[in-house]
Structure 1
Amino acid sequence: MHNKRNCYSSSTDNDEYLKKVTVGRRKSHNAPIELVDYNPNWVDLFGKEAKKIKSILDNKVLQLEHVGSTSVPDLCAKPIIDILLVVADSSCESSYVPALESAGYILRIREPAWYEHRLFKGPDTDINLHVFSEGALEINKMLRFRNWLRTNREDREKYAKVKRELAQNTWENVQDYADAKTEIIERIMKRANSNIL
């Protein structure tokens, strides 16, 4: 959701960063971004994945949430289910990675410098499984952004407008598209944060 690469001054720097944190071979996107209208079936797809992940990791799952645009009714999105998984220590890969991999999940991103973030792709449903350690600041940011968009129609529509405009461009990496949304996300988060009691 948030741009973690503000320190990278050019797309070349960003590309180098992505190469560094990608596990396995990275493919360039080199196309516009496919956005579709909200689909209520996304809730069911999340539920199916959540059940599977809980059965694999059992009590290692401290929190499991549907996040990202597919978790916000009436918001256009890439048809990829974003899932937030919180474990005790995401840097301790031996405690959860082998179990997920044996069930077909593929570790694609390892970012030690950004809250020890790990990202997996799913074996069946097209998902981004984001793994963070308990207490990571990004957890609350993701949930606050999701919850605000669910309840604030004006910001939801502003965000959708920017997403649709940006999606028409050709993006070498999908992450570049995500990073291009930073300005609108920060403006929305500022309003969301000012409305917290």
Structure 2
Amino acid sequence: MLTADEIVRFDDAPAPPGRTAWVQGGPEAEAIAIVPAEPRWSADFELLAGIVREALGPLALDVEHVGSTSVPGLPAKPVIDLDLTVASSADEPAWLPQLEAAGFVLTVREPWWYEHRCLRFAEPRANLHVFAPDCPEAARHKIFRDWLREHPEDVALYRDAKLGAADEANAAGEHVMQYNARKQQVIREIYHRAFTASGLLE
């Protein structure tokens, strides 16, 4: 069972010396495109979640739509983010072959950060994040999503931060990880409000 302290404490530790999270090289250089919200994103999630569940059966303990495409009306990169919970994300032989056979490609492996794995899917474009049960990061994703769904003022704040970060990152020739860093302060501000309102922070 997760504690409040585990949920509100962010783990920003970098990769250990000599290690990289990227399985097949770093992220491809491409312009960061933030597009208006698409009603079809929820249907895209259902399609992708169905593929995951069909591939894994009962091994898929939970599949959640997270990230900006999970918030109605929020502009986003047109890439669906899903959080998949399996019994052990570190036990790749138990779940990875089935997902690869279904068309997912492992791109990120981070044993030092919640044993996180990330797989990409080509169409509809998606990032599938794999975590074990009671993972603080996965819990935070749902808290952030649910807060934004109920607080339009923070949707507007986050929208402006995303658009500004994309413009600045594109002008500097940066990749998506640097874009993410540019909007982190606003994300943490929104998290603080959500944590406080839910009683996780006093």
TM-score between the two structures when normalised by the length of structure 1 = 0.88
Specify the alignment match of 2:120 in structure 1: 121
- Residue aligning to 1:142: 141
User: 2:6 maps to what in 1?
Assistant: none
Aligned to 2:95: 96
Q: Give the match for residue 35 of structure 1.
A: 34
1:121 partner amino acid: R
Q: Unaligned stretches of 5+ in structure 1? A: none
Letter in 1 for 2:138: I
Q: 1:181 aligns with which of 163, 180, 183?
A: 183
Q: Report the AA paired with residue 190 of structure 1.
A: H
Aligned to 2:149, the other structure's residue is in SS state: helix
User: For residue 181 of structure 2, what is the amino acid of its counterpart?
Assistant: D
Residue 37 of structure 1 aligns to a residue whose secondary structure is coil
Q: Deviations over 1:110-157 (max 9, x none)?
A: 011110000000143100000001111111100000000010011110
Contact persistence 1:28–1:172 (CA under 8 A): no
Distance in 1 (CA, whole Å) between partners of 2:183 and 2:57 is 35
Identity of aligned residues (%): 37
2:33 and 2:166 in contact (8 A); partners too: yes
- Do the aligned partners of residues 28 and 48 (structure 1) sit closer, same or farther apart at CA in structure 2, a change above 3 Å counting? closer
1:89, distance to aligned residue in structure 2 (A): 0.5
Unaligned residue ranges in structure 2 (runs of 5+) = 1-9
Mapping of residues 1-197 of structure 1, within 5 Å: 6-7=12-13, 20-29=20-29, 31=31, 33-169=32-168, 170=170, 171-197=173-199
Give the Cα separation in 2 of the matches to 1:148 and 1:61. Answer: 25
CA RMSD across the alignment: 1.9
Q: Does the 8 Å contact 1:132/1:139 carry over to 2?
A: yes
- Contact 1:45-1:81 at 8 Å conserved across structures: yes
Deviation, 1:28, is 3.8
Q: How far 1:27 sits from its partner (Å)? A: 4.3
What residue identity is the alignment partner of 1:43?
S
State which drifts further: 153-162 or 173-182: 173-182
Report the 3-state secondary structure (helix = DSSP H, G, I; strand = E; otherwise coil) of the residue aligned with 1:21: coil
Instruction: Write the deviation string for residues 48-67 of structure 1: whole angstroms up to 9, x where unpaired.
Output: 01111100000011110100
**Secondary structure in structure 2 of the residue aligned to 1:168:** helix
Q: Which amino acid aligns with 2:179?
A: Y
Q: Is the 8 A contact 2:11 2:113 kept in 1?
A: no
Letter in 1 for 2:96: V
Cα distance change on mapping 1:5 and 1:133 into 2, 3 Å:
closer
> What is the distance in 1 between the residues matched to 2:154 and 2:72?
13
